[in-house]
Structure 1
Amino acid sequence: MNIEFATEADIDYISERDKHLARTLIPTKIMAGEIYILRDSNQAIGWMRFNYFWDNTPFMNLIWIDEPYRGQGLGKDVVLHWEEQMKERGFQVVMTSTQSNEEAQHFYRKLGYVDVGCLLQEKDPLEILLSKKL
């Protein structure tokens, strides 16, 4: 498995699966180097995208692994890869979030993330904010 920056060739793959990001924003995020693609034998099998919380703290927005590849540690691999990249860029802290009814909160805590706050929006489960010192 390889982890690399997404390219314009990945737009359709991401757009078909990412229901939280408008297709028109994908090229901008690709050009900014804010989407990693996971590949197995040159075939896209997942991605991770991020942005910056408060414009200064790397914030992981979403990890997606195609169903046949789940449960193999690829999510952990891409998170650790991203963390290392952010550390190399001089960041000391990274963040992410997950809803309180999602299992992802346990995944992030196992990777060393700690709860730092929450957000409650009408009609949505509690959003847990998590942070990790690099």
Structure 2
Amino acid sequence: MRIDFANDSDYEYIRERDRHISENLILSKIKGTEIYIIRDKDEHNIGWMRYGYFWDNTPFMNMIWVDEQNRGKGVGKQVILFWEEQMKRSGYKIIMTSTQADEGAQHFYRKLGYKDAGCLILDTQPLEILLTKKI
């Protein structure tokens, strides 16, 4: 497995799977090196991770995707640990993510050392749990 910054050739792969942001924003995130692409040993894309900044100064993992056939093999954990190390090297002391209360991801993040930091209540969505981790 290899983790790289996504490039223009990864756009279609990401666009087909990321239904949470506009196509133009995907391109902007690729150009801003805010999307990591995960490739298998044969150089096939198997997942990606997208981040941004909460309050414009705190790294915030927005989305992680691992193709179905590669889930449960530690791929997600590896890309998150890779991102955490990159953020630490960039001088950040704390990072964030979130997950809906009805999703199992909250347990995954807690196993990686993330702590509950509050929640967000939206009219049409389940409770959104905010999580932070000191790095």
Give the TM-score taking structure 1 as reference length.
0.99
Corresponding position of 2:86: 85
Corresponding position of 1:43: 44
Deviation, 1:26, is 1.0
Deviation, 1:101, is 0.2
**Identical columns (%):** 61
Matches within 5 A, 1:108-127: 108-127=109-128
Corresponding position of 1:99: 100
3-state secondary structure, aligned to 1:86: helix
Distance 2:71 2:97 in 1: 20
Matches within 5 A, 1:2-81: 2-40=2-40, 41-81=42-82
Deviation, 1:107, is 0.2
RMSD: 0.5
Q: Which runs of 5+ in 1 are unaligned?
A: none
Distance 2:31 2:20 in 1: 19
Give the TM-score taking structure 2 as reference length.
0.98
For these two proteins, the number of residue pairs brought into alignment is 134
Q: Which runs of 5+ in 2 are unaligned?
A: none
Deviation, 1:21, is 1.3
Q: Which runs of 4+ in 1 moved over 3 A?
A: none
3-state secondary structure, aligned to 1:122: coil
Distance 1:48 1:122 in 2: 27
Distance 2:12 2:36 in 1: 14
